[in-house]
Amino acid sequence: MAHILIADDDEMIAEMASEILINAGHACGWVTDGKKALELLRWRRPDLLLLDQDMPQLSGASVLRAMRTSPKLYDLPVIMFTATTGAKDEEQARYQGAQDYIRKPFDEKFLVWRVNQVLKARAERPKHMELHELMERNAGRFDETIREDNRAV
């Protein structure tokens, strides 16, 4: 079960997406603007953020930029969740750091599938990071062992 936050100014869409994701086994909540989303993210970090691109007070793009420059939120997975349909908008969202892009209106099964794909990719990432960190730690030990062997010769 993942904790998912939805930030969307359309309460009906946010509530519907929330219900779909809850029925799929996730914990889910929603806020109606970007400013509230950032406030909540500073208080509690979810596993995933569904972020509407066009919201009052603070746009989804602004929220995403703030997150990517935050030491606490820079790596939080984000799916842009928007009615904007242009390929350029999708490209811009990915450039700004979104992992995926879902257009509204959306299909229930498609939403659950895409959310699960992003969560799965995120779950696999720490394994690679742990391996990388282990290799870095052991590289120092390896260098030390080589120096000791060279002294013995």
Identity of the amino acid at 102: I
The token duo for 60 is 């989804």
Residue 91 half-sphere exposure toward CB, CA atoms < 13 A? 3
Q: Order of strands across the sheet with 100-103? A: 27-31, 3-7, 48-51, 78-82, 100-103
Tokens 């990719």, located at residue: 121
What pLDDT does 145 receive?
A: 47
pTM: predicted TM-score of the whole model, two decimal places: 0.79
Blockwise average pLDDT, block size 10, the chain, 153 residues: 96 96 97 94 95 89 93 93 76 84 93 96 68 52 50 57
Q: How far is CA 66 from CA 20, 22, 150, in A?
A: 28, 27, 50
| DSSP-assigned beta bridge partners for residue 7 | 31, 51
Q: Yes or no: say if 111 and 21 are a contact pair by the CB < 8 Å rule.
A: yes
**What domains, with CATH codes, occur in the chain?**
3-124 (3.40.50.2300)
What pLDDT does 89 receive?
A: 74
What pLDDT does 73 receive?
A: 93
Q: Yes or no: say if 2 and 26 are a contact pair by the CB < 8 Å rule.
A: yes
106-127 residue pLDDT tens = 999 999 999 999 999 988 865 5
What pLDDT does 57 receive?
A: 84
